[in-house]
Amino acid sequence: MAPSIDRQGYWGRPTSTLDWCEENYVVSTYIAEFWNTVSNLIMILPPICGAIQTFRDGLEFRYVCSFLGLAAVGVGSWCFHMTLIYEMQLLDELPMIYSTCVFVYCLYECFKQENTISLFPIALLLIFSVSVTVVYLQWKEPVFHQVMYGALVACLVMRSIFIVTWVYPWLRPMCYTSLGVFMLGFLLWNIDNIFCDTLRASRKTLPPGVGVVTQFHAWWHIFTGLGSYLHILLSLQIRSTYLKYRPKVKFLCGVWPTLHIEPQKTS
């Protein structure tokens, strides 16, 4: 984590249990970690567009919740990195648990009849979410949150690989792209944590435009945001294929992937 040599800004002394490697209040007096804040846009704007598109396509509401859950994580992370206030940290970290529980439900219930609601997995995930919340509010240990989040991600990885290996092998490119992008973000997150002193020292000698590239926690937001977005598209492709819709990936402006659902084939 970051050494305590940062400037004071609009939000005062940090009260969060984490203070990342980006130097505080360097770019703006009103934003504690500028690059860690603005990098959350990738987790806010595309998921909102995805939720609107999913709603227009008439797909199940759980997938709208998936997109909105990712957007909620982006908003919470924006507030946390902008302020470094403990309450805003919770607004970032707890939605990570809640939204990933929605991802897990969608992926593990993808081979059920349309609009089926399974109460047992919902109850399990609800108990898990409440338990993590209660424990984390009492035991303010970030590693606990990170382990619980990692356990949910592991469930998604195992289920995704099973489906693209044994059920829909033509979806392997989307699955492994999503996983690879997410893991790249996780790698950079670890580098940012482990080599923070070295990174900070290098920024003092590098030109400002080059130093920004070493803000690896911001890259963590970008890559995990994209990886999570791609996972939702994969989950939607699996579900819509099972329901005999015709999902098709299109690229907005030739760059950003979106999923469009064509009507069911008539028999």
145 is in an annotated binding site: no
40 is in an annotated binding site: no
57 is in an annotated binding site: no
193 is in an annotated binding site: no
Beta carbons within 8 Å of 49's beta carbon, 6+ residues apart: 258
**Cβ neighbourhood burial of 158 (10 Å; 0-12, 13-18, 19+):** exposed
Are the CB atoms for 241 and 247 separated by under 8 Å? yes
33 is in an annotated binding site: yes
217 is in an annotated binding site: yes
60 is in an annotated binding site: no
User: Residue 240: which of 52, 62, 20 has the closest Cα?
Assistant: 62
User: Residue 202: which of 188, 218, 213 has the closest Cα?
Assistant: 213
Are the CB atoms for 97 and 252 separated by under 8 Å? no
Structure tokens at 64: 């709208």
Query: Residues within the annotated binding site for Ca(2+)?
Result: 19-20, 22, 24, 33
Query: Residues within the annotated binding site for Zn(2+)?
Result: 81, 217, 221
Query: Residues within the annotated binding site?
Result: 19-20, 22, 24, 33, 81, 217, 221
